[in-house]
Structure 1
Amino acid sequence: MPTRTLRRRAPGLVLIAAAGLYSVVPLLSMISAALAPQGSFPSGLSWPSHPHWHNFVDAWNVANITTLLKSSTLIVFGVVPAAVLISTMAAYAIAVLDIPLGRVFYTVLVLTLTLPYEIVIVPLYEQVKEMGLLGSQWALVLPLIGLNMPFAVFWMRAHFVTVPRELSEAAGIDGAGPWRALWHIHLPLARPAIASLALLMFLSTWNQFLLALVLIDDPDKRTMAGALQAFTTKYSTDQVLLNAGALLIMAPTILVFLFLQRHFVKALLQGSVKG
């Protein structure tokens, strides 16, 4: 690599390396802590001389992760497909069909992104209670679909506005209606944006803890993040099993991200975060 090019890229390479260390070092610290003897208080980053791999099995059993894995999967499949479908159609109507009051509706959605997440918990609790859904998994699925709408519509609209209008006009000349144009033209082009949006929604739903804690009283019906409560008692916290359990909870999200990262990067390069 030429010296001039290397000097120009050096700041970017340093930032990438720093970001990588910032992300990897805590993960390595968690792994080393998860392999320490149970009942100990590991600190810092040091590989144990005798790794206790059975800590992951113990953490799985203590937190009843098998049941929570099924519950989280059910909640994710209830939230992500519905939210992606609704937000895609809404963004298409606003950006491409230019429906009446579409810009007003979009502005209101964007403004809701500025509201603190915790501000909706109390009214949401009362509303779910009045609907008779409190304590069930529907109490989490339906609110998460609604709470994901502002960002999801913003994300998908940002993609649709980058698609040349000539494509829709050409489809109209050929006799294709709005639905046919959406299905045959816009959705194939939107696959990276849809895949990346599904990834982001999966991560937020899988790691949802606060709403699951408030709206569902049965620990077996909550998300995987609720398993972390099993390692915390009134007087102490088992740090070793807590780290092992956290790694087990993180594993599916890491695998899903590795599987969909190609679509995520492609969506960013196509300008899917521009509006």
Structure 2
Amino acid sequence: MSRTERIGTYAILCLFAISALYPILSVFIRSLDSTVATDHSWGHFENYATAWDDGNFNLYMKNSVMIAVLVVTTALILSIMTGYVLGVIRPRGGNIIFFIFLAGMMVPSEALVIPLFYDLRDLGLTDTIWAVAMPQIAQSLAFGTFWMRAYFRGVNPSVIDAARMDGASEWQVLWRVLLPMGRPAIVTQIMITFMWTWNDFLIPLVMSPMGKFRTAPMSLAFFETNHTSSAVLMAAAAVLVALPMIILYVFLQKYFIAGMTEGAVKE
């Protein structure tokens, strides 16, 4: 690339970065303003403590973490195994099974949430963590199977053949050979599943009608209703809800970027 092309590339990237970061930074800056209209000072970090107490985020953050951990862990383990079967073992009828999983990605949750509610209510599971987590596990498993199958199919077959020739079983090939190599793809799935689960609003709203498992995004909506006159506290509450996702991305961004570019290899 010439110097002019390089400068133009960086300018375009900076423009997109600014457009993406500006809304986040503006909310963060707003959250540190004074809640008193006549006070124009800045740097009021106590707004976060006020928003935390007023919004009862102690309970709702706990609910969100519990649900996210359950969904991410269960969907990851199951999708690794289904992805390995469909991507490496390739049993007869595997393509039909794969298209069934793809159907789970194509049907929107809005079309299924009402029938699911009545089914889970008949089983006595509404207002429990299972009613909120199981539909999200099913949705995440559909994507996870697609994602991990693509990764396993992109692995060099000679690696798998060499492990089998050394006497490794299918279980050992999966857990001792392929998974250490697939860390970027696995981390990418963890982040995407966590993001979907953390930000989901509809399923917790419907599956927990009594509000026993109200999650952080839901609490933010109710917080906004109760604090419509305080944009500062609403901004602080929004930062609190988004903070876990930001922290996770900061620590795992290297693997996430690598997984997005290498995890799903075109067949």
Q: TM-score surpassing 0.5?
A: yes
Which residue, out of 73, 79, 83, partners 1:81?
73
CA contact (8 A) 2:127 2:211 kept: no
Q: Counterparts in 2 of 1:10-21, with a 5 A limit?
A: 10-21=7-18
Is 1:156 the counterpart of 2:148? The answer is: yes
Letter in 2 for 1:28: L
Which residue, out of 185, 205, 219, partners 2:211?
219
Higher helix share: 2
**1:111-150: CA deviation from partner (whole Å, max 9, x where unpaired):** 4323333111111212221221101111111111101112
Is 1:64 the counterpart of 2:48? The answer is: no
5+ residue gaps, structure 1: 41-47
CA contact (8 A) 2:102 2:146 kept: yes
**2:172 maps to what in 1?**
180
5+ residue gaps, structure 2: none
CA contact (8 A) 1:39 1:238 kept: no
- Segment of structure 1 superposing worse, 128-137 or 12-21: 12-21
Is 1:145 the counterpart of 2:137? The answer is: yes
Q: Quote the Cα distance in structure 1 between the aligned partners of 2:21 and 2:222.
A: 26
- Segment of structure 1 superposing worse, 224-233 or 100-109: 224-233
Letter in 2 for 1:239: A
Q: Counterparts in 2 of 1:94-173, with a 5 A limit?
A: 94-173=86-165
Letter in 1 for 2:231: Q
Normalised by the length of structure 2, the TM-score is 0.91
CA contact (8 A) 1:39 1:240 kept: no
**2:243 maps to what in 1?**
251
- Segment of structure 1 superposing worse, 70-79 or 264-273: 264-273
Which residue, out of 231, 238, 242, partners 2:234?
242
Q: By how many angstroms is 1:20 displaced?
A: 0.8
RMSD: 2.1
Q: Quote the Cα distance in structure 2 between the aligned partners of 1:55 and 1:234.
A: 16
Normalised by the length of structure 1, the TM-score is 0.88
Q: Quote the Cα distance in structure 1 between the aligned partners of 2:234 and 2:46.
A: 14
Report SS of the residue matched to 1:100: coil
Q: Counterparts in 2 of 1:37-48, with a 5 A limit?
A: 37-38=34-35
Report SS of the residue matched to 1:151: helix
Q: Quote the Cα distance in structure 2 between the aligned partners of 1:253 and 1:139.
A: 23
What number of residue pairs does the alignment pair up? 265
CA contact (8 A) 2:154 2:265 kept: no
